[in-house]
Every structure is written in structure tokens, then in C-alpha cells.
Amino acid sequence: MAKVTGLEGVIAAETDISLVDGENGYLVYRGHWAKDLAISKSFEEVCHLLWYGRLPNGEELAALQSKLVEQRELPAQMRQLMDVLPLSLPMMSVLQTIIASIDYAWPPTIEQAISLTAKLPVLIAYRYRQQTGRAFVEPDAALAHAANYLYMLTGQRPEEAHSKALTAYLILGMEHGMNASTFAGRVVLSTQSDMASAVSGAIGAMKGPLHGGAPSEVTAMLEDIGTKANAEPWLRAKLEQGERLMGFGHRVYKTRDPRAEALRLVTSGMTGQDPWFDLAIHVEETAIRLLEEYKPGRRLYTNVEFFAASIMRAIQLPSDLFTPTFTAARVVGWTAHLLEQASINRIFRPQSLYTGAQPESQ
């Protein structure tokens, strides 16, 4: 029996949700380039695409927006459970616990997916305000998904540039093939467990730094560089010392990361509106030029974490909310996969290769 450590390259399921092609730099959501969706569509439109298989018409979009707003309300039992969890408990563990407490029936439904997607940002904001000793800011029904999230965190209506940039980030974070957390969720659901349990399992996988690691190191790099004038000397010094530049290169993408391309377009379109966007664009251009000089032919391009970091810093999102915010985006893809898994369900039951000692003959 062939052994493939980590199941790398093994096809575990067929899907029509997304295509991730690292060699060619493709990321496709149900027949649409993800980077185009991030630039031209709303969060709610792309949710509809992943859950229903098509972009919505005006009536369908209005209906979905209404449902998402309605489902932002946290039930009393969720608030009560949140209130008794120790404040020292990390945010991802809090989210995993709260989601696991939801009682859903089999099979999973789109209504459940909508509810989970609507509630995750509210849960994050509720807990964040708790941890920082401030009163919870109730959701604003007049605000779209990303804008409402920022409003609940800060208590202030966000700038349009920040809402637009965060929306693009959330769209590009929604889905990325059969990654570790998506696979974990599909395995749980394949036992005919419920959608909340499967999402809780996916959050458990996302907690791990090898998967849901936040772009904190990129943020630290940009803060250390500080100004455009300091970019080239700072980057040259790192390369001369043989150090890695954070935010460049990707395990999957061997060419330009399409998510980074989209976020770059969004960010560059807002230069002059936020100094962090200006700095990020300059640092990226300088770093690409220097990487080609110092490491010719290595194909080290900007990855999604670089521009994610610039967006997170611009909207002043604390670093401990990076992975939870990524989770609030990825729940859309997880739930799309769970709906797909239920429609063709077969329990996952791989084999293992025993390498231990054999007992003595009977």
C-alpha cells in the first residue's frame, strides 16, 4: 500500500466549489476568478455564489442580505456561555466552544450556514469588547457585513476605504480548496455529525499556527520599516544577512498569488486615503526588485499575507484578532463544503500503515 505522509497530493473528494492551481496562479470560485469577485462583488454576493452555485439577481441578493442581518442576533444562551468563559481563554478556543454548543440537526442546511456566517463576527466583537473592558456594541442593520464587523469592534462607523479593503480580504479568505480545516470539517460531517460540530472541528484545525497563522510578522516588518525612505536600506540589510522577507513566497503558488494580486489592486486604488496602503505598495515594489537582484530566478512573489497585513494594520485590527477574522471569512467556504459533502456523503476512512512490533506467534 502506497504511503503518502500528510496525504499531500492525494485526491480526497471531487468538488465544484473552487479550483486552486498553484503552478499557474489560479484561484477560481465556481467558475469565476476569485480576484475579480474580490474587486467587483460584495461579501454577500460571493456567499450566494458559494452556497447556491451562482451569483444572485437583485431579489436574491436582497433576501440573503436580510437573512444575514437577521441572524446577527446572539441568543441569550450564547451570551450567557460567553460571559462564564474565562477572559484568559484565547479567542479561537472561545469560538470553537460557542459554535460546538449549537444544536443542529442532520442534514446541514443553507440556513445553518447563513446563521454561522452572520454570528461569527458578532461573537468575535462581543468577546473582544469583553476582554478590553468595554460594553458590547450591538450590530447595525444598516451596515453591510464587513462594515458592521468594524463598527462592533470599535463603536465607530468605519471609513469606506477600510470597509472596502476588509470586504476584499474576507472574500479572498472565504475558500481555498481542500485545506486542513476544510478537510477536518468534511471528515466530521461525513460521520453524519451536524454542521456546528463540523465547523467547530474546522476551527480547531484553524487554531494551529501551521494553518491559520496570522500575518503578524509582516505587520511587524512594515512597522519596523516605518517610512518609504527606509524601505530599501532595511530590505537590503535583511537580504545581505540572508534573512527571509516576510510576505513573499508561498507553499502552493509558484507564480503570483491571485489573492495578493487582488488585494494589491484594492490597496493601490486607495493610495492617498491611508498611509499604510501607501507604504505597503512602496515596500512591495522595492522588495520584488531586490529579490530579483539577490535571488534571481527564485520566483518569489508577494503572497496574500503581505497585503492582508497592510489591511489589518490600516484598519487597526489587533494582532490577536487576525486569525479569528480569517475564520469569519473561511466559514463561508467551510459551510459550502459541508453542504456538498452531505449531498454525496461517504464516511472518510483512510488506512494507516502499522510500523510497530509484532506479537509472538500464537
- Structure-block grid coordinates of residue 122: 458578532
Q: Which of 362, 357, 7, 351 is nearest to 179 (CA)?
A: 7
Residue 63 contacts residue 48 (beta carbons within 8 Å): no
- Structure-block grid coordinates of residue 13: 473528494
> Which residues of the chain are in CATH 1.10.230.10 domains?
216-314
CA distance 28 to 34: 5
Tally the residues of the chain. 362
Q: Which pLDDT value is given to residue 23?
A: 80
Cis peptide leading into residue 275 (ω within 30°): no
> Which residues of the chain are in CATH 1.10.580.10 domains?
32-209+321-343
Catalytic residue among 175, 261, 305, 340: 305
Q: Which fold has domain 32-209+321-343?
A: Citrate Synthase; domain 1 (1.10.580)
Please confirm, yes or no, whether 305 is among the known catalytic residues: yes
Q: Which pLDDT value is given to residue 300?
A: 79
Block means of pLDDT (10 residues each) for the chain, 362 residues, are 72 93 89 95 98 98 98 97 96 98 96 98 98 97 98 96 93 95 98 98 92 77 94 96 84 74 80 80 92 86 84 87 95 98 94 89 72
Calculate ∠ Cα 279-260-159, nearest 5°: 55
Q: Which pLDDT value is given to residue 127?
A: 98
Q: Which pLDDT value is given to residue 73?
A: 97
Q: Which pLDDT value is given to residue 61?
A: 98
For residue 51, the number of C-alpha atoms closer than 13 Å in the C-beta half-sphere is 24
Dihedral sign of CA atoms 118, 123, 128, 129 in order: positive
When the candidates are 1.10.230.10, 2.60.40.10, 1.10.10.10, 3.30.2310.20, the CATH number that belongs to 216-314 is: 1.10.230.10
Residue 199 contacts residue 185 (beta carbons within 8 Å): yes
Catalytic residue among 48, 145, 162, 250: 250
Q: Which pLDDT value is given to residue 158?
A: 95
324-344 core/surface letters (b: 16 or more CB in 10 A; e: else): bbbbbbbbbbbbbbbbbbbee
Q: Which pLDDT value is given to residue 251?
A: 64
Q: Which pLDDT value is given to residue 341?
A: 98
Residue 347 contacts residue 188 (beta carbons within 8 Å): no
Please confirm, yes or no, whether 243 is among the known catalytic residues: no
Residue 140 contacts residue 154 (beta carbons within 8 Å): no
Residue 309 contacts residue 326 (beta carbons within 8 Å): no
Q: Which pLDDT value is given to residue 95?
A: 98
Residue 331 contacts residue 102 (beta carbons within 8 Å): no
